[in-house]
Amino acid sequence: MPSSPVPSRATPRPTTLRDVAEAAGVSIKTVSNVVNDHPHVRPEMREKVKAFIAELDYRPNGIGRQLRQGRTGLVALALPDLTSPYYGELASTLVDVARERGLTLLVEQTDGDLDREREVATGFPVRLVDGLIFAPQSLPVDEFKQRRDTTPAVLVGEYGEGSGFDRVTIDSVDLGDRAVRHLLERGRRTIAFVGDKHRDAVRPPVVAQRIEGYRRALRRARVPFDPELVRPLAEWTRRDGAEGATALLRDRPDVDAVFAANDLIAFGVVHALRGLGLRVPQDVAVLGVDDVEQAQYSAPTLTSVALDRSEMAEMALRLLSDRLAGYDGPERLLTVTGRLVVRESTAG
C-alpha cells in the first residue's frame, strides 16, 4: 500500500545550495559563487541563478557557513539583569552597535550570582560564540584571570583590574568625588552613602570606588568621615533603597543629603523620605548615579551622574572587534567619566 503523501504543514526542509543548483542545472559551487558575489560567473548565468534563488527563497544556512569559516558572528552578552534601566539601556545600545558591525548579541542574565558568573567565565558548555562582553559583579578577579576559554572577552564596568583582559571601565572614584562635592557645595554636611555592599567580606570594586570618591570629597572639605553614614544594602534596587533610607533616618535623623549608589536606590530613597513626611530637597537632598531616563521625569527630578552608555557600547565593541580581527597585543583599557546633571533633588 503506497503511503499517502499528505503535504505536511510542518517545517519543510529549507532550501539548500544543492536544491538551487539542481533547479538551475549548474553546480553547487557556481551557486555559492553567485551568493557570495565571487568572480568567474557569466552575467547571464548569474542572473539565472539569482532568479532561482529568489524563487526557492534560498538563504544560506548559517551553520554550514560558519562551520566552514570557523566563526559564528555571535557574541555573548552577560550582565546581571535586563530589567534594571542601566543595564537595559546598555544592552540596547550594545545590540545596535553590534548590529552595525555585523555581529549579533546573545543574552545571558547572571543576576550577579557567583555561580552563574562562574559559568560565564568558564565558557559556555557548548562553543558557539566568537566573543564575550561581560559585566560581572561577584566573581573574584583572580578566578576570571584563570579562565581557560580562549574566546576574546571584554569586561564592562569597574570590575576587572589586573585581570589582563580588555576593559571598558568607569572612573567611579572621580564620580563619587564629584557627586559629593556637589552636595557639599550646596551646603550639605551630613551626607550618607546608601548602597554599600559586600561579597564574601569584600567590597566589589564599583562600591569601593564610589565610597573612596565620597571620602575623598569629604576629606577635601575637611568634613569628618562618619562610618555610620555608609549604609549597606543587599541589592541595588528601589525596594532596598527605600528600606535603607527608612533605617538611615531612624538611626540618623540629622542627615541632610543622600548619595545613592545608583538611580534606582535614589528613587527608593525619595519614596521612603516622602513616606516619612520629609521634603526633597529642602530636608534631604538626594543624588543618584546613571542618569536613567526616568530621572528627568520623577518628582522631584533627580540629580544624577550621567554615564554615556552609547560611548561605552562603542568602546566595548571596538575592543572586541579588534580582537576578532586578530589583534594580539596587550590588553587595553578605556575609561568613561561621569558627568553631573543637576536637577531638582539637590536644589537649594
Q: Which residues bind a second copy (CB under 8 A)?
A: 8-12, 14, 57, 59-67, 72, 74, 81-83, 85, 88-89, 91-92, 95-96, 99, 104-109, 123-128, 148-152, 238, 242, 267-268, 270-271, 274, 293-294, 296-299, 301, 326, 328
> From CA 260, how far away is CA 273, in angstroms rounded?
13
Interacting residue with DNA among 41, 75, 155, 305 (CB under 7 A): 41
Q: What is the DSSP letter of 193?
A: E
Report the sign of the C-alpha dihedral through residues 258, 261, 262, 268, in that order. negative
Site for DNA in 282-311 (CB under 7 A): none
CB of 133 to a second copy, least distance (A): 13
CB of 73 to a second copy, least distance (A): 8
Q: Which is nearer to DNA, 20 or 217 (CB)?
A: 20
Interacting residue with DNA among 12, 70, 224, 329 (CB under 7 A): 70
- How wide is the angle at C-alpha 114 spanned by C-alphas 240 and 145, nearest 5°? 130
CB of 125 to DNA, least distance (A): 11
What is the grid cell recorded at 95?
545590540
> From CA 60, how far away is CA 37, in angstroms rounded?
13
Alpha carbon 111 to its chain's center: 12
> From CA 77, how far away is CA 66, in angstroms rounded?
20
Amino acid found at 234:
A
Does 10 bind DNA (CB under 7 A)? Our answer is: no
Q: Which is nearer to DNA, 129 or 168 (CB)?
A: 129
Interacting residue with DNA among 22, 23, 28, 143 (CB under 7 A): 28
Amino acid found at 91:
A
- Is the distance from CB of 302 to CB of 267 less than 8 angstroms? yes
Q: Which is nearer to a second copy, 164 or 253 (CB)?
A: 164
CB of 32 to DNA, least distance (A): 3
> From CA 104, how far away is CA 95, in angstroms rounded?
7
Phi then psi dihedrals of residue 133, to 5 deg: -115, 125
Give me the residues that bind DNA (CB under 7 A), please.
13-14, 16-18, 25-30, 32-33, 35-36, 38-42, 45, 60-61, 63-65, 67-70
